[in-house]
Structure 1
Amino acid sequence: MKIENTKAQMRKGVLEYCILLVLDGKPLYASDIIDELKNSKMIVVEGTLYPLLTRLKNAGLLAYNWEESTQGPPRKYY
């Protein structure tokens, strides 16, 4: 049981770095981040991504901006 928890925590730690790398130099919407990670053969779902984005924001490692969308509500770009 401990090994599975350790694996999950290690994966989250690796994902944080991958997210920062994907966002380096370009603002992206959450679904765009997921697409970039999938293109790199990393499977990530929104339920995993959003808590990591919040953690990175709270740690001061990324910021976000709200932008108006022509197809619905404003979007949060990281």
Structure 2
Amino acid sequence: MPNGDTERRSLVLRSGLDLCLLALLENQTIYGYELTQRLAEQGLPVAGGSSYPLLARLERQGLLTTELRPSTAGPPRKYYSLSQLGRQALATGRVEWMNTVEAMSALLRPGQRASTTTAATAPSTSSAVLATGTADATR
């Protein structure tokens, strides 16, 4: 893959990684290393050095809750789960992501002319929720 394609893929991955982590935690509690393994299984390889700071940020924003549990193979593990605010951020982030993907796909499809009106142009609060951890975008 040419370097430009690698950089583009990396940028796309970084922009949606928070949503991917939230989605993995939607119905289960998972520890950090297992989260990176599950991302890799889905074709989204992420180094632990990238995912742990993001998990810490999501926790600080109140989107995740954590719990230390004993491990049979070493020190206790930090398990992550979604908070109520995290569930809200995931729901709104999914809508925003899908609208963006739909609009971009329409533009990138060969031989297709994109509509000038798409759902992606509608205002959304999900970016503010993911960035601030609250639906109040004025904070």
Category of TM-score, reference length = shorter chain:
0.7 to 0.9
Counterparts of 1:6-21 in structure 2 under 5 Å?
11-21=13-23
| Secondary structure of 1:63 counterpart | strand
Q: Which residue of structure 2 lines up, in the alignment, with residue 56 of structure 1? A: 58
Select the residue among 70, 74, 77 that pairs with 1:75. 77
TM-score (norm 1): 0.83
1:32-55 superposed Cα distances (whole Å, 9 cap, x missing partner): 101110111001001100110011
Q: Give me the identity figure in percent.
A: 36
TM-score (norm 2): 0.48
| Secondary structure of 2:63 counterpart | coil
Runs of 4+ in 1 over 3 A off after TM superposition: 7-11
What is the total number of aligned residue pairs between the two structures? Answer: 74
* Letter in structure 2 aligned against 1:36: R
Task: Between the two structures, name the one with larger relative contact order (CA 8 Å, sep ≥ 6).
Answer: 1
Q: Which residue of structure 1 lines up, in the alignment, with residue 42 of structure 2? A: 40
1:8 CA drift (Å)? 5.7
Aligned-residue RMSD, C-alpha: 1.9
